[in-house]
Amino acid sequence: MAPEEKFQALVDAEEKIEPTDWMPEGYRKTLIRQIAQHAHSEIIGMQPEGNWISRAPTLYRKAILMAKVQDEAGHGLYLYSAAETLGVRRNDLQELLHQGKHKYSSIFNYPTLTWADMGAIGWLVDGAAITNQVMLTRCSYGPYARAMVRICKEESFHQRQGYEILIRLCNGTPEQKAMAQDALNRWWWPSLMMFGPNDSDSTHSEQSMEWKIKRVSNDDLRQQFVDMTVRQAEYLGLEIPDPELAWNEERGHYDFGEIDWEEFWRVVKGNGPMSRDRIEHKTRAWNDGAWVREAAIAHAAKKTATAA
Amino acid sequence: MSDPIVSSTPQGMPDVAMEPHLRQLVSHADDNLVLAQRLGEWISNAPDLEIDIALANIALDHLGVARALYTHAGEIEGRGSSEDDFAMRRTEREYLNLLIVEQPNGDFAHTILRQFFFDVYQRLLWADLTGSDDPTLAGIAAKAAKETAYHFEFSSSWVVRLGDGTDTSKRKAQAAVDALWSFTAELSGPYEQAWRRIVDELLDEAGLTIPEDPYQRTGGRDGYHTEHLGVLLAEMQWMDRTYPGSQW
Amino acid sequence: MTYDVPVAPGEKPELEEFVEGAADGWPMWEVFVRARRGISHVHIGSLHAADARTALQNARDVYTRRGEGISVWVVPSSEVHAFEPEAAAEYVEANEKVYRLATTYEIPDEVGQM
């Protein structure tokens, strides 16, 4: 059997591809980019939430938020490790991020303006991420799928704590409830945008499906998310900012309005409200820390030299 | 080395009225909360992912200790005060933390040296308090001691890495020692000798020297702080003060 | 799909080339953890560190959140010799931080699965 045939046979049989297996160069490169961008998303995602650690309204909320953001760093780390099994180095991947050649999920290019945003992000953004991540636990590449299993176990606490924040706000003072509604108004459409363009406008999808890197289409995932989330919003007594949102009895799903694709592509291209800030922050932390990383290497080298 | 010149609380300042055992609990809680608040600022800003995760872990430990101590303080006080009553509703003149923990993070060397000096102190403190007559405090101290052992391993190994790393890291580490030394008399307090033994040995291993400057600044334990604490509390307490009486 | 950031019209979908030799970072280490007495060490993932001591500290922070009674090994990745290497990862959860457990949060039933 030719290597390509053996590879596809494994994929078709729902077997995992492992690092030492032969794989098409396109498969390898697509995975590197996707896993790396997933990792970058976790790391950049630390910033909008990290923004509220110092101002969390109670010590309990402060502790949870710190733990959540720390988890995200850990997820980034697991994912970079998975990418490295494909023969690249973590520092190289980060360099591509700093240069703007690698991207990250656009959702993090929006600002976190109020405490309610912490609830909205946990509920909507982590909710959308979970929808996607459960699918990725079935990805054909072993190390990525396994990293996703580990991440999914930790992720469900993230969504639940966000939703709980909103329950408190929606059952609180009128000011708190207004804060929650305002957050939903700002985060709803960006959350829908997380699922990418409509399938009809999505390049590469077919190949990714064949390689079982992608298991469910953008539109199907987005629909799944909307159906799940509308009920949750109703429970909170919040109104989703979409006048066209309506249950469609025939389809058995919610109909919803059209995404502002102009905004979508504008943010993808790097012109979102916080796009520059996120990269500047990441790059600054990296550059400011160079002397620390170098010191550790220098010290380790001295130790090795002494021992030798 | 010349006698220290100590700048402490000024004449005529009224004492913070608090029963001694309660005061002790609140002082240590304040230390840990303020330091947790400072360490939290490193999240997403650390030199690399592993360090980010480590600092967040340490911050969470300090926060956990603070919460346990405030909760117990509320029980001792007997007025139904919650951990957030202590943390969010006291002013800068009521906080009793050591001055060193409210200092800004500075660069990584500054943060590591601050952490190291504080870890040595807490090692001695928790060892002492595990023998407390107050069983709850003894229990908190026993758990905190395990966490502090880990923090000490982290901070002391980094002090050596920086002091004996590159010329740049040595320079920065020394600058941090020089800048923080004047807060260490207040920090080491009753444990001064033991504290000095451990610190001298480690700084020596790291190739760092202790400043000759005899100036020491105290006052934290009396509520007489540096200008940094007010700003830190303004940020930390903002939500609670802006939306009084709300549940989160 | 969320992480496959879409290619905007007019952009080239570059699948990346890497800068040779740039960014010599900390070496990579493989992490093995024994979750509790009676079972064996399991490969759990990898991380970067300049020396063994840091690697151990990092491994505890990243992969175990410092649960008690756990044994952690770290091995430089370059020292792992393989014949059809198998990486079977197991997730290890520490019990200390209760708010990490999804069961801690009260979500009413009518809201649906979360």
Helical residues (DSSP H) of A85-204, grouped into ranges? 90-98, 116-120, 126-136, 142-170, 174-193
Nearest residue in chain A measured CA to CA from C94 = A154
- Taking the C-alpha atoms of residue C78 and residue C55, their distance in angstroms, rounded to an integer, is 14
Chain C hits for A231, CB-CB cut-off 8 Å, are 110-112
Residue B215 lies in a domain: no
Q: What is the DSSP letter of A25?
A: H
Q: Which of B60, B66, B67 sits opposite A66 (nearest CB)?
A: B60
Report phi then psi at A247, rounded to 5. Answer: -70, 130
Confidence label for C7 from pLDDT (cuts 50, 70 and 90): low
Query: Are C29 and C53 contacting, i.e. CB atoms less than 8 angstroms apart?
Result: no
Contact C15 A33 (CB under 8 A): yes
Contact B57 C53 (CB under 8 A): no
Asked if the C-beta of A301 comes within 8 angstroms of chain B's C-beta atoms, the answer is: no
Sign of CA dihedral C83, C88, C94, C97: positive
Helix axes B108-129, B192-205, angle to 10 degrees: 140
Which candidate, A41, A148, A49, A48, places its Cα nearest to that of A103?
A: A41
Which candidate, B79, C102, C98, places its Cα nearest to that of A160?
A: C102
Does the pLDDT value for residue C98 go beyond 80? no
pLDDT at B4: 80
* ipTM at complex level: 0.96
- Taking the C-alpha atoms of residue A52 and residue A46, their distance in angstroms, rounded to an integer, is 10
Mean pLDDT over residues C1-20, rounded? 55
Contact A57 B243 (CB under 8 A): yes
Residue B188 lies in a domain: yes
**C86-114 per-residue burial string, b: 16 or more CB within 10 A, e: under 16:** ebebebbeeeebebbebeebebeeebeeb
Pair type for strands A246-248 and A253-255: antiparallel
Residue B248 lies in a domain: no
Interface test with B, best of A104, A291, A302 (most B CBs within 10 A): A291
Q: How many residues does chain A have?
A: 308
Residue B141: how many other CB atoms lie within 10 Å: 24
Identify any residues that bridge with B217 across adjacent strands, giving them in sequence order. Answer: B7
Confidence label for B13 from pLDDT (cuts 50, 70 and 90): confident
Q: Which of B48, B60, B154 sits opposite C57 (nearest CB)?
A: B154
Range of the domain at B19: 6-210+221-242
Helical residues (DSSP H) of chain A, grouped into ranges? 3-12, 25-50, 59-84, 90-98, 116-120, 126-136, 142-170, 174-193, 205-210, 218-236, 261-268, 275-288, 290-307
Chain B hits for A58, CB-CB cut-off 8 Å, are 84, 88, 240, 248
Give me the number of domains chain B comprises.
Answer: 1
Which candidate, B47, B68, B60, B210, places its Cα nearest to that of B150?
A: B60
Long-range contacts of range B225-232, CB-CB < 8 Å, 24 or more positions apart? B225/B92, B225/B93, B225/B95, B225/B97, B225/B99, B225/B102, B226/B99, B226/B102, B226/B103, B228/B102, B228/B103, B228/B104, B229/B34, B229/B92, B229/B95, B229/B97, B229/B102, B230/B92, B232/B34, B232/B37, B232/B38, B232/B102
- Taking the C-alpha atoms of residue B60 and residue A56, their distance in angstroms, rounded to an integer, is 14
Contact C19 A303 (CB under 8 A): no
Contact B166 A295 (CB under 8 A): yes
Does the pLDDT value for residue C19 go beyond 60? no
Which candidate, C7, A195, A136, A63, places its Cα nearest to that of B83?
A: A63
The percent of residues above 70 in pLDDT, for chain B, comes to 99
- Helix (H) or strand (E) segment spanning residue A247: strand A246-248
Pair type for strands B215-217 and B5-7: parallel
pLDDT at C101: 47
Rounded (5°) CA angle A133-A214-A247: 70
Q: What is the DSSP letter of B4?
A: P
Chain B hits for C57, CB-CB cut-off 8 Å, are 54, 153-154, 157
Query: Are B52 and A288 contacting, i.e. CB atoms less than 8 angstroms apart?
Result: no
Those residues whose C-beta lies under 8 Å from the C-beta of residue A243, and which sit 6 or more positions away, are A257
pLDDT at B2: 67
Mean pLDDT over residues B80-102, rounded? 97
Contact A26 C15 (CB under 8 A): yes
Confidence label for B230 from pLDDT (cuts 50, 70 and 90): very high
- Helix (H) or strand (E) segment spanning residue B37: helix B20-40
Confidence label for C96 from pLDDT (cuts 50, 70 and 90): very low
B232: CATH: 1.20.1260.10
Q: How many helices (H) and strands (E) does chain B have?
A: 10, 2
Contact C2 A105 (CB under 8 A): yes
pLDDT at A105: 93
Residue B124 lies in a domain: yes
Residue B116 lies in a domain: yes
Q: How many residues does chain C have?
A: 114
SS (H, E, C) B175-201: HHHHHHHHHHHHHHHHHHHHHHHHHHH
Residue B206 lies in a domain: yes
Q: Which of B40, B52, B84 sits opposite A58 (nearest CB)?
A: B84
Helical residues (DSSP H) of C23-91, grouped into ranges? 52-59
Residue B62 lies in a domain: yes
* DSSP helix, strand, coil percent of chain C (3-state; round to 5): 20, 20, 60
Those residues whose C-beta lies under 8 Å from the C-beta of residue C22, and which sit 6 or more positions away, are A91, A92, A95
* CB contact residues (below 8 A), chain A span 155-194, against chain B: 165, 168-169, 171-173, 175-176
Residue A173: how many other CB atoms lie within 10 Å: 14
Q: How many CB pairs under 8 A join B and C?
A: 29
Query: Are A161 and A122 contacting, i.e. CB atoms less than 8 angstroms apart?
Result: yes
Residue B182 lies in a domain: yes
Q: Which chains touch A (3 or more CB pairs under 8 A)?
A: B, C
Contact C62 B50 (CB under 8 A): yes
Mean confidence (pLDDT) of chain B: 96
pLDDT tens, N- to C-terminus, chain A (308 residues): 788 999 999 999 999 998 888 899 999 999 999 999 999 999 999 999 999 999 999 999 999 999 999 999 999 999 999 999 998 999 999 999 999 999 999 999 999 999 999 999 999 999 898 888 888 999 999 999 999 998 988 887 888 999 999 999 999 999 999 999 999 999 999 999 999 999 888 777 788 888 988 888 899 999 999 999 999 999 999 999 999 999 999 999 999 999 999 999 999 999 999 999 999 999 999 999 999 999 999 999 998 888 76
* CB contact residues (below 8 A), chain C span 30-69, against chain B: 47-50, 53-54, 57-58, 60-62, 65-66
Query: Are B221 and A148 contacting, i.e. CB atoms less than 8 angstroms apart?
Result: no
Does the pLDDT value for residue B162 go beyond 90? yes
Does the pLDDT value for residue B97 go beyond 80? yes
